[in-house]
Structure 1
Amino acid sequence: MAGIKTNSNSITAILVEKLNYKKSGFRTAILKLWNLPDDIVFIDGTHSVSSIPEMENKEVDIIGKSGTKIKLLIEIKANLNEELQDSQKANGQYENTVKNHRDIQLKYIIPDGYYHQNELPKESEQIQIVNWSKIYEVAKETDNTGLTEQINYFVESNFNQNDLVLTKGDIAMFLSPSIIGKVISLDSKIENLLAEFIKENQKMISKIHREKDHLGWWYTLYKGKKQFTVWIGLCELEEDNKNSFFIYTWIKSSDSSKYNFLNFENGKDYISNEDPEGKYVYIPITDKNSELPKFLFEDNVKDQQDKFNELMKTNIDKFFAILS
Structure 2
Amino acid sequence: MTTWKPTAPLQNLITRAQIINKVRNFFQQRQVLEVETPIISQFAATDPHLDSFRVNDHFLQTSPEFPMKRLVAAGSGPVFQICKVFRQDEAGRRHNPEFTMLEWYQPGYTDQQLWQEAIALISCITGAHPTQVISYRDAFISQLQVDPITSDISTLKKLCYEHTGAIADDFSREDCLDLLISMVIEPGFNPDEFTVLHRFPASQAALAKKTTDEDGEMVSHRFEIFFKGMELANGYWELTNTSEQEERFEADNQLRLKLGKQALPVDRLLLDALEAGLPDCAGIALGLDRLVMIACNSSNIKEVLSFSWENA
TM-score bin, normalised by smaller chain: under 0.3
Q: TM-score, normalised by structure 1?
A: 0.20
Q: TM-score, normalised by structure 2?
A: 0.21
Structure showing greater relative contact order (alpha-carbon pairs closer than 8 Å, 6 or more residues apart):
2
Larger radius of gyration: 1
